[in-house]
């Protein structure tokens, strides 16, 4: 029986961890049923390299933005710059952006300014915003809500590992939560319950590769193929079969990342 078809909605294929074997990494993903993936650019000066990876592989799409931990060190992005990048046929999301006060709280003001720029770009392009949130739940919920009242936009809370209040705030805005390998860790019971309480049609799965490999690869380099382990663990927790959970999360991805879905349909035609 073939593996369930999955999408790795967030990975970093341009990172040096994959430099020597990228074709093999993509091939292993396909063998595991991961037919599409979104590789994320975290510094806009690296966008040409990330774009080239997406152009080189049929099932790879990309997004670009300024990671919050880079917000003070990199030139501030402009809305126009992000909108221009979005014209590429394989550019499917804005970010990742967000707030990270764990290591970089001193740049909170720059992070917030950068986040608002990315939100406006998501509004103008109609592409989903990709959010990184760590130790900034209150500010994150406030900014996302305030900005949504000013003009709607779509969003995924990537690698969601924050608290229940931020999860509820995001879901109330119509946003999606993305399940990473953290949800498969034995001590992540509280996080699994947050996902279990969310509507099934608002969940995505991802690796955040090369980080956060799920069991049985925990502590090793993560790669897109391993999203199958995360999906299987979450499906088991929800009492679903792996194929059914894969089908639901893939349909969710296609709804949120509609540009990637259309591209796939055109390629198959």
Q: 4 falls in which pLDDT band (50, 70, 90)?
A: confident
**Is there a domain that residue 136 lies in?**
yes
Can you give the pLDDT at residue 20?
87
Q: pLDDT over 70 for what percent of the chain? A: 97
Instruction: Find the CATH number of the domain harbouring 94.
Output: 3.20.20.140
Q: Is the pLDDT of residue 1 over 70?
A: no
Q: 269 falls in which pLDDT band (50, 70, 90)?
A: very low
**Is there a domain that residue 248 lies in?**
no
**For residue 19, with 0-12 CB atoms within 10 Å meaning exposed, 13-18 middle and 19 or more buried, which class applies?**
exposed
**Is there a domain that residue 1 lies in?**
no
Q: 204 falls in which pLDDT band (50, 70, 90)?
A: very high
| Total domains in the fold of the chain | 1
Distance set, CA 44 to CA 47, 91, 256 (Å): 5, 13, 23
The full DSSP string for 107-170 is GHHHHHHHHHHHHHHHHHH-PPEEEEEES-HHHHHHHHHHHHHHS---EEETT--S-HHHHHHH
Answer yes or no: are the C-beta atoms of 141 and 106 closer than 8 Å.
no
**Is there a domain that residue 249 lies in?**
no
DSSP-assigned letter for residue 47 = H
**Is there a domain that residue 192 lies in?**
yes
**Is there a domain that residue 57 lies in?**
yes
Average pLDDT over residues 194-207: 98
Dist. CA 223–CA 212, nearest whole Å:
9
43-91: per-residue pLDDT in tens?
999 999 999 999 999 999 999 999 999 999 999 999 999 999 999 999 9
**Is there a domain that residue 14 lies in?**
yes
**Is there a domain that residue 24 lies in?**
yes
Which structural domain range is residue 227 located in? 6-243+255-268
Average pLDDT over residues 9-23: 96
Can you give the pLDDT at residue 260?
96
Answer yes or no: are the C-beta atoms of 209 and 238 closer than 8 Å.
no
227-246: per-residue pLDDT in tens?
999 999 999 999 999 999 99
Which residue from 37, 38, 253, 258 is spatially nearest to 126, judged by alpha carbons?
A: 258
152-200: per-residue pLDDT in tens?
999 999 999 999 999 999 999 999 999 999 999 999 999 999 999 999 9
Can you give the pLDDT at residue 268?
45
Q: 262 falls in which pLDDT band (50, 70, 90)?
A: confident
Q: 212 falls in which pLDDT band (50, 70, 90)?
A: very high
């Amino acid at each position: 029986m073939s593996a369930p078809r999955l999408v790795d909605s967030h990975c970093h294929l341009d990172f040096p961890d994959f430099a020597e074997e990228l074709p093999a990494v993509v091939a292993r993903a396909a063998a595991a049923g991961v037919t599409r993936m979104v590789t994320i650019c975290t510094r806009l000066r690296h966008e040409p390299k990330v774009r080239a990876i997406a152009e080189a592989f049929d099932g790879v799409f990309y997004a670009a933005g300024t990671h919050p931990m880079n917000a003070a060190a990199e030139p501030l992005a402009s809305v126009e710059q992000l909108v221009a990048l979005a014209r590429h046929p394989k550019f499917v999301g804005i970010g990742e952006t967000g707030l990270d006060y764990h290591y970089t709280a001193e740049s909170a003001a720059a992070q917030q300014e950068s986040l608002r720029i990315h939100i406006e770009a998501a509004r103008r392009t109609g592409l989903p915003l990709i959010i990184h949130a760590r130790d900034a739940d209150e500010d994150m919920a406030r900014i996302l809500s305030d900005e949504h009242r000013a003009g709607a936009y779509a969003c995924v809370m990537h690698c969601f590992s924050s608290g229940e209040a931020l999860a509820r705030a995001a879901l109330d805005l119509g946003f999606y939560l993305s399940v990473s390998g953290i949800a498969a860790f034995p001590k992540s019971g509280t996080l699994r319950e947050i996902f279990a309480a969310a509507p099934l049609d608002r969940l995505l799965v991802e690796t955040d590769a090369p980080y956060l490999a799920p069991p049985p690869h925990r502590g090793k380099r993560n790669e897109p193929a391993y999203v199958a382990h995360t999906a299987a663990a979450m499906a088991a927790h929800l009492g679903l079969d792996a194929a059914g959970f894969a089908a639901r999360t893939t349909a969710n991805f296609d709804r949120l990342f509609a540009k990637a879905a259309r591209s796939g349909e055109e390629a198959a035609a």
